[in-house]
Amino acid sequence: MTSRPPAGAPAPTGNDSLDVATIRKDFPILQRTVRDGKPLHYIDSGATSQRPRQVLDAEREFLETSNAAVHRGAHQLSEEATEAYEEARRKIADFVGADVGELVFVKNATEGINLVAYAMSNASIAGPEAARFLLGPDDEIVITEMEHHANLVPWQQLALRTGATLKWFGVTDDGRLDLSNLDELVTPKTKIVAFTHQSNVTGVVNPVAPLVAKAQEVGALTVLDACQSVPHQKVDFQALGVDFAVFSGHKMVGPSGIGVLYGRRSLLEAMPPFLTGGSMIEMVQMARSTFAPPPQRFEAGVPMTSQAIGLGAAIDYLSVVGMDRITAHEHALTEAALRGLAEIPGVTIVGPTDMTDRGGAVAFVIDGVHPHDAGQVLDDLGIAVRVGHHCAWPLHRRLGIPASIRASFYLYNDLDDVTALVDGVKETKRFFGVS
C-alpha cells in the first residue's frame, strides 16, 4: 500500500514551522461549521484527533482492492491483505522504536492494558515460563494518582483477582508526579509499575528513566501509557527501556478501533494469552491447545484490518510532517494558551503553568463557572473542548476540583484557535456575570 504524501509536506530546510493552513486542507471536518454557522475550533485532540484524507483514502483503497481475512486462506486477496496488515505493523514498529514482533494490535489502548492485566491473571494456569507474571497476596502493584482510568481500573481489578496490593505515587500541588518516596513505594515486593508518559489532563510529561531504573532494580515490570505521548512527540520504547506500552490509533490522526500494545519480545514470548480462539493457536485438540508465538498469540479472531492500514497511513502522514516539528508547534500553541489564559482574572491553570516537561494539553477552571457550563458556552462559539474529569477522577479529587476544562492541541491547530479559546473564556465569564 502506498499513500500519497500529505499536502502539508515539510517546508524547505531552514523553516521549522508547520504550514498549518495547508495541513488543515487535509482534514475535511475542519472546514465545517457548527452551531449556526460558526467556524469549528477543534481543541479536543486529547480525546480523539481528526483524520486526514490520506488516512481515509488508505482505508478505502484497501477495502476496495485487497480486503480479506488476514493470516488465513490461500487466495490472492488474503495474501495482499496479510501483506498490508503486516506492513502496517512494521511501519508502526519503526515509528515507536520496536521490533515488528513486539507489537500487538488491539482495539484500543484500554484493551492493551487489560490484555497485560488478564494475561497476568492467566499465569496461574500457564506453564513455568509464565512464572514471572504470577501475582499473589504478597505482591504489590504501583501506579500513580494522575492515571487515566484505563491505567488504573484494570490494576485495581487485577489486585482484587490476585490478592495483590495496589499502591500509588502521589501528585504535587502543581500536578507533577511526586517521586520523593520512590524507594519506599517500589520494593522487591513490587511486580508492576504502571504509569502514564504524559498526563491527559495537565499535559505533564513524566520522567520515565528513574521509574524504569528502580523497577529494573527490584525486578518489577513497567507498563507505560503512551496514549498522549506517541501522537505528539518522538517516542522510542526500546530506548526508554519499558517492558510494555500502549497507545491508540484515533489519538494520532488514525482510525478508531485500533490500538497497539508493545511488549519486549522475551516477555511476550513467555506471557500467556488473554483472549483465546481462532488465529492465536498452534495446535488444537478436543481437550487442550497450544498457542502461537507472539504477536499472533495475542490477536485472537479476525483482526481489524483496514484500521491497521489506516494507522500505518497516519504514521506516514505524521512522519512526513515531522514529529519534532509537531512537538515544537504544539509547544508554541500551549505557551500562547497558558499566557492568554493567565491574563484572565479568575482563571486557574490545573497543573504546571510553565513549559518544562509538558505537552500540548491545558486544563483550567474558572471561578464561579462550572466547567460543564463553560463548555456549553464555548461550544456555542464553535469551540470544542473537553469538560469534566477526563477519565482522571482521582487526579481531580487530589487537586481539589470536581472537574476542569481541557484544551488539547495538535498539528492542525493554530493561533486562531488559541485566540478563540481565550476570547471564549472571557465571553463565558461575561455571560455568567462573573467578574
Partner 1 sequence: MQMEQLYQEIILDHYKNPHGRGLRDPFDAESFQVNPTCGDEVTLRVKLDGETVSDVSYEGQGCSISQASTSVMTDLVVGRSVGEAFKTLDAFTELMQGKGQIVPDEDVLEDGVAFAGVAKYPARVKCALLGWMAFKDAVVRAEGDSA
Residues classed as catalytic? 391
CA distance 259 to 247: 6
Question: Which 3 state secondary structure label does DSSP give 246?
Answer: strand
At 171, which helix (H) or strand (E)? Answer: none
> Side chain identity at 183, as an amino acid letter?
D
Q: Smallest distance, Å, CB 299 to partner 1?
A: 31
Beta carbon of residue 370, minimum distance to partner 1 (angstroms, whole number):
4
Task: Count the neighbouring beta carbons within 10 Å of the beta carbon of residue 419.
Answer: 14
Give CA–CA dist 218/186, Å, rounded: 7
Question: In the set 214, 389, 406, 429, which binds partner 1 (CB under 8 A)?
Answer: 389
Q: Note the Cα 49 to chain centre separation in Å.
A: 11
Binding residues for partner 1 restricted to 8-47, rule: CB under 8 A? 35-36
Walk across the sheet containing 386-388 and list its strands: 347-350, 361-366, 404-408, 386-388
Contact 245, 264 (CB under 8 A): no
Per-residue DSSP letter, 205: B
- The size of the interface with partner 1 (CB under 8 A), counted in residues, is 19
* 142 is a contact residue toward partner 1 (CB under 8 A): no
Contact status, residue 150 vs residue 305, Cβ threshold 8 Å: no
All cell numbers assigned to 126:
500457564
423 contacts partner 1 (rule: CB under 8 A): no
- Do 102 and 264 touch, CB atoms closer than 8 A? yes
With cell 498457542, the residue in question is: 291
Q: Which of 396, 406, 408, 409 binds partner 1 (CB under 8 A)?
A: 396
Question: Is 181 in a helix, a strand, or coil?
Answer: coil
* Nearest distance, CB of residue 389 and partner 1, angstroms: 5
Task: Indicate whether 311 belongs to the interface with partner 1 (CB under 8 A).
Answer: no
The one among 57, 86, 174, 380 contacting partner 1 by CB under 8 A: 380
- For 101, the 3-state DSSP assignment is helix
Among 72, 94, 372, 415, binds partner 1 (CB under 8 A): 372
189, 370, 398, 426: which one binds partner 1 (CB under 8 A): 370
By CB under 8 A, name the one of 387, 395, 399, 425 that touches partner 1. Answer: 387
Q: Which is nearer to partner 1, 44 or 102 (CB)?
A: 44
CB of residue 145 vs partner 1: minimum separation in angstroms? Answer: 16
Task: Give backbone dihedrals phi and psi of 388, rounded to 5 degrees, phi first.
Answer: 125, -150
Per-residue CA distances from 270 to 120, 300, 385 (Å): 11, 17, 42
User: Which among 268, 310, 284 has a CA at the least distance from the CA of 63?
Assistant: 310
Span from 136-144, 269-277, 301-309, 382-390 in contact with partner 1 (CB under 8 A): 382-390
The stretch among 91-99, 203-211, 304-312, 383-391 that binds partner 1 (CB under 8 A) is 383-391
Phi, psi of 16 (to 5 degrees): -90, -5
Residue 393 near partner 1 by CB under 8 A: yes
Tell me if 178 contacts partner 1 by CB under 8 A.
no
194 DSSP β-pair partners: 223
Contact status: 268 vs partner 1 (CB under 8 A):
no
Rank residues 30 and 393 by Cβ distance to partner 1 and give the closer one.
Answer: 393
Sole window of 93-101, 234-242, 248-256, 388-396 interacting with partner 1 (rule: CB under 8 A):
388-396
Q: How far is the CB of 402 from partner 1 (least distance, A)?
A: 5
Stretch that binds partner 1, among 91-99, 177-185, 396-404, 406-414 (CB under 8 A): 396-404
Region binding partner 1 by CB under 8 A among candidate stretches 17-25, 133-141, 192-200, 427-435: 427-435
Nearest Cα to Cα of residue 171 among 201, 151, 130, 150: 201
For the bound state, the minimum distance from the C-beta of residue 432 to partner 1, rounded and expressed in Å, comes to 7
Closest by alpha carbon to 80, among 88, 92, 70, 94? 70
Q: Give phi and psi for 24, each to the nearest 5.
A: -60, -30
**Which residue, 65 or 376, has its beta carbon nearer to partner 1?**
376
Backbone angles phi, psi at 121, to 5 degrees: -60, -40
Residue 376 as a binder of partner 1 (CB under 8 A): the answer is: yes
* Shortest distance, position 401 Cβ to partner 1, whole Å: 9
Could you tell me the three cell numbers for 365?
A: 477552571
The stretch among 94-102, 121-129, 350-358, 425-433 that binds partner 1 (CB under 8 A) is 425-433
Residues that bind partner 1 (CB under 8 A): 35-36, 370-373, 376-377, 380, 387-389, 393, 396, 402-403, 431-433
